[in-house]
Amino acid sequence: MLQEHVEIVKALDQLGAVAKKAKKKNVIEFVRKLKLHAKTEEDLTYPAVLMAGKLLQQQVTHQV
């Protein structure tokens, strides 16, 4: 999944460059927000889900 984010961010960088040249502020803002969303997932959401999964697995293992 993280590899997909790398490719998405590369594409967004290209889109952002074109939007900047064309002075398309709405597209530039879209790119900024989508890149922030991807970064948030990488830094917060994915690690939190992995931790929750480990905790649940521990609970299941200890209940057996």
The residues spanned by each domain of the chain are 2-63
Instruction: Give the pLDDT confidence score for residue 64 in this predicted structure.
Output: 61
Closest CA to 20 of 10, 9, 32: 32
> Environment class of residue 5 by beta-carbon count within 10 Å: exposed (0-12), middle (13-18) or buried (19+)?
middle
What tokens does 3 get?
A: 């590899």
Instruction: Give the pLDDT confidence score for residue 2 in this predicted structure.
Output: 80
What tokens does 27 get?
A: 């597209």
pLDDT per residue over 21-62, tens digit each?
A: 999 999 999 999 999 999 999 999 999 999 999 999 999 988
pTM above 0.85, yes or no: no
CB distance 16 to 28 below 8 Å: yes
Query: To which residue do tokens 């952002």 refer?
Result: 16
